Structure 1
Amino acid sequence: MRVRVMRVVTRLNVGGPAMQVSTLLRGLDPDRYDQRLYAGHVAPGEADYHALHGLDLPVHRVPALGRAVRAGGDCRALAELAAHMRRFRPHIVHTHTAKAGTLGRLAALVSGVPVRVHTFHGHLLHGYFPPVKTWLVTGVERLLALGTHRLVAVGGHVRDDLLRAGVGRAGQYRVIMPGTTIGPLPPRADARRALGLPPDGPVIAYVGRVTAIKGPERLVDVARRVLAAHPGATFVVCGEGDRLTATRAAAADLGPAVRFVGWRADVSTVYAAADLVMLTSDNEGTPVCLIEAALAGVPAVATRVGAVSDVVADGRTGVLCRPDAAELAEATLALLDDAAARARMAAAALRLSAERFGPERLVADTDRLYSAIAHERGWWPAH
């Protein structure tokens, strides 16, 4: 028999969850799994991963399943998800991201779905909310974990943070790292020409959402410090978000040394143009932008938060710092002045990322998870 998997994600904005969901929909064996994807719409101003990269994938839209929390809309989304579950009759409901994890698991409980799985692509325990709201979010996750059969974390640090917060039991968790690929890399000169960048001089790229948790003000501060010592450098910001306008304003006096190129379907062009990739976040799961950079052979300078250290081997494939602009700028300048170190890190990043973060590994790990559940439940015969 084919195991029916209902996959629920809040929205398919550009980022790790959408990329992983798409990889699983394409990669899991259709003779073994009947998968369906349910998602809300992206918010105004957010880039749509489905439109950019996933038009081949069918998506069942749940209009009220958006990022914003509204009692009336959330109740409608819960009822709609439950109705979909009663029609599809999934063996497994697998939820991704926080809001979908809450509504999807509740709908699965009331609909009698046999198995509930949730993936933490990060968590909301640090840096997102004031203390009282964080306490409430943590309490909700603890309660939901009681009714969840498997909890998937995208990195060991994410799992450990959640366990320390009392979310779930160690035996419930499986660590499944992200898996992805990037398109062909154009020659550096072509990439820089396509982005309107100077042909010479170092380029530092930021790829991701421009939103508060990502530290865009810190990014501008780093750029200011680096440019004071390296005026020939250029920073490229590839992304959009609710802090984009404010970030542009903060960087206005830096002129063309900080370029905003929006979301690009050909993100490989950005990596091909770059000497370094930067991440300035206050909190992260396992950032796909750093995986993509490693697959492109680009070293990283990043904050040591969440599961970033599962991606960047400090001193081998990049440099990890505290969330401090001065420390990030110092590390950036040191690498810009040491071409040999950058070359060593680039080679190590290519080698390690190919081993750990290919899409085939993500699909194989998820297949093992579902297979174990199917054998436990008697859906498939025992080995």
Structure 2
Amino acid sequence: MEIIARMNVGGPATQVSGLCKLLDAEEFDHRLYTGHVDDGEGDRLVFGDAGLAVHRVPGLGRSVNPAGDLRALYRLAGTMRTFRPHIVHTRTAKAGALGRLAVSLSGVGAARVHVFHGHLLEGYFSPPKRAVYVNAERFLATLSDRLVTVGARVRDDLLRNRIGRPEQYVVIPPGVRLGPVPDRAAARTALGLPPGAPVVAYVGRLTRIKRPDRLLEVAREVLARVPGCRFLVCGGGELREQVEREARSLPGPVDLLGWRRDVETVYAAADVVLLTSDSEGTPLSLIEAGMTGTPVVATRVGSVAEVVRDGRTGLLAAPDAGELAAHTVRLLSDQELARRMGRAAQAWTTSAFAVERLVADTETLYRSLHGASDHRRSTPETSTP
């Protein structure tokens, strides 16, 4: 039983999609439970996975609503009593809390797995709210059989905050499968771009933690130094209108593309893919860029360095607009360096982050927990009435 708060366009939903499609159906009866996507976010079930079978749980969305959350908790617990899963696999903070609590409430004795696709330790909360988050995750870790992280750095950050025990952790990097990638000329024609213009692309949500303000600072510097350069912004979020408004004052074009099904076209059209975040897990946009042979410039946060081999497949920087801009200008100005890094990125990401590897790792994890869930079923834990 897989539980995720919402299937918005992004890393967690992409991983879930791959598992839903490729897990061995003869061995695993895998069912997905999710809430609804908020306005302003791209819906993965519209952008690429319209045929994916899901079970909707009212109240299991992004926003926190005590009454709705309580309804979702009891709905999940009731579903568990009917389905009787061997394993409950949760993703995202809210679904992780409700799903793990629902196992205790239901009394089904399922093994509990929670995935951290990143964490909320930095850049999200004020100190008091951060303390509440850390204490909640420490408690929820005691209800978990395994804690999965998408990178070693994410795991180490959580352990440093005394969330869980080392033996609970398993690192399973993301797995990605792109659609057909057009050639550069076709991609640029599809996007209405000049064939020879330098192009920098950003792919992702326009939210505070992703620092679109820093993206615009980088764009300002690069556009002033590289004649004819174009910036593409593929994505959306609550800051889209602000980004659109502020982009008008830049010394060159910034095209806001919104959410697109053919994100491969954006990567293929770009000379550089840029990431400006303050916090990340293991960003899929950088993996996808690598798979298309496009080098990246990114902030050195979270497990980014586990995707981008600094100086070999891309360039990493401090969360500083000036340094990010300098790296971007370097790659735009040195086409041979950019091509060499792009080829290395394609070889590395294709071998390390294939969706088939994600599925194999997950199936191995599930098999290792089957005995634990059988034991719990024979000695049921006390459930809340």
Q: Please indicate the TM-score interval, normalised by the length of the shorter structure.
A: over 0.9
Q: Which amino acid aligns with 1:99?
A: K
Q: How does 1:131-210 map to 2 (within 5 A)?
A: 131-210=127-206
User: Which residue does 1:228 correspond to in 2?
Assistant: 224
Q: Which amino acid aligns with 1:196?
A: G
Shift of 1:231: 2.6
Q: How does 1:1-383 map to 2 (within 5 A)?
A: 6-112=1-107, 113-254=109-250, 257-376=253-372
Shift of 1:109: 1.4
Q: What is the SS of the residue equivalent to 1:94?
A: strand
Shift of 1:186: 1.1
Q: Which amino acid aligns with 1:33?
A: F
Q: What is the SS of the residue equivalent to 1:51?
A: coil
Q: What is the SS of the residue equivalent to 2:45?
A: helix
Superposed CA offset, 1:261-288 (max 9, x none): 1111010000110001000000001100
> In structure 2, what is the Cα distance between the partners aligned to 1:295 and 1:274?
13
Matched pairs, number: 374
> In structure 2, what is the Cα distance between the partners aligned to 1:60 and 1:26?
15
> In structure 2, what is the Cα distance between the partners aligned to 1:222 and 1:255?
12
Q: What is the SS of the residue equivalent to 2:29?
A: strand
CA contact (8 A) 1:239 1:263 kept: yes
> In structure 1, what is the Cα distance between the partners aligned to 2:252 and 2:318?
28
Structure 1 stretch 250-259 or stretch 134-143: which is displaced more? 250-259
CA contact (8 A) 1:297 1:346 kept: yes
Shift of 1:161: 0.4
> In structure 2, what is the Cα distance between the partners aligned to 1:181 and 1:138?
33
Structure 1 stretch 142-151 or stretch 247-256: which is displaced more? 247-256
> In structure 1, what is the Cα distance between the partners aligned to 2:56 and 2:371?
31
Q: Which amino acid aligns with 2:66?
A: A
Q: What is the SS of the residue equivalent to 2:34?
A: strand
CA contact (8 A) 2:86 2:374 kept: no
CA contact (8 A) 1:301 1:318 kept: yes
Q: Which amino acid aligns with 1:287?
A: P
> What runs of 5+ residues in structure 2 fail to find an aligned partner?
376-385
So what's the TM-score if we normalise by structure 2? 0.95
> In structure 2, what is the Cα distance between the partners aligned to 1:232 and 1:377?
60
> What runs of 5+ residues in structure 1 fail to find an aligned partner?
1-5
Superposed CA offset, 1:319-347 (max 9, x none): 01011100100111111111111111011
Superposed CA offset, 1:1-50 (max 9, x none): xxxxx000000000010000011111110111001100000001111001
Q: Which amino acid aligns with 2:228?
A: G
Higher normalized contact order (CA 8 Å, seq sep 6+, divided by chain length): 2
> In structure 1, what is the Cα distance between the partners aligned to 2:220 and 2:373?
57
Shift of 1:377: 5.1
So what's the TM-score if we normalise by structure 1? 0.96
> In structure 1, what is the Cα distance between the partners aligned to 2:252 and 2:269?
16
Shift of 1:114: 2.3
Superposed CA offset, 1:74-106 (max 9, x none): 111111111111111111100011110011111
CA contact (8 A) 2:223 2:252 kept: no
> In structure 1, what is the Cα distance between the partners aligned to 2:312 and 2:177?
21
Structure 1 stretch 80-89 or stretch 277-286: which is displaced more? 80-89
> In structure 1, what is the Cα distance between the partners aligned to 2:317 and 2:176?
25
Shift of 1:376: 5.0
> In structure 2, what is the Cα distance between the partners aligned to 1:202 and 1:182?
24
Q: Which amino acid aligns with 1:334?
A: R
CA contact (8 A) 2:11 2:283 kept: yes
> In structure 2, what is the Cα distance between the partners aligned to 1:212 and 1:132?
19
Q: What is the SS of the residue equivalent to 1:313?
A: coil
CA contact (8 A) 1:195 1:261 kept: no
Q: Which amino acid aligns with 1:350?
A: Q
In the TM superposition, structure 1's runs of 4+ consecutive aligned residues that sit over 6 Å from their partners are none
Sequence identity of aligned pairs in percent?
Answer: 56
Q: What is the SS of the residue equivalent to 2:281?
A: coil
Structure 1 stretch 331-340 or stretch 14-23: which is displaced more? 331-340
User: Which residue does 1:3 correspond to in 2?
Assistant: none
CA contact (8 A) 1:276 1:298 kept: yes
> In structure 1, what is the Cα distance between the partners aligned to 2:35 and 2:122?
25
> In structure 1, what is the Cα distance between the partners aligned to 2:349 and 2:366?
25
Superposed CA offset, 1:177-236 (max 9, x none): 000111111121221121122222210000000110000000000000001111311110
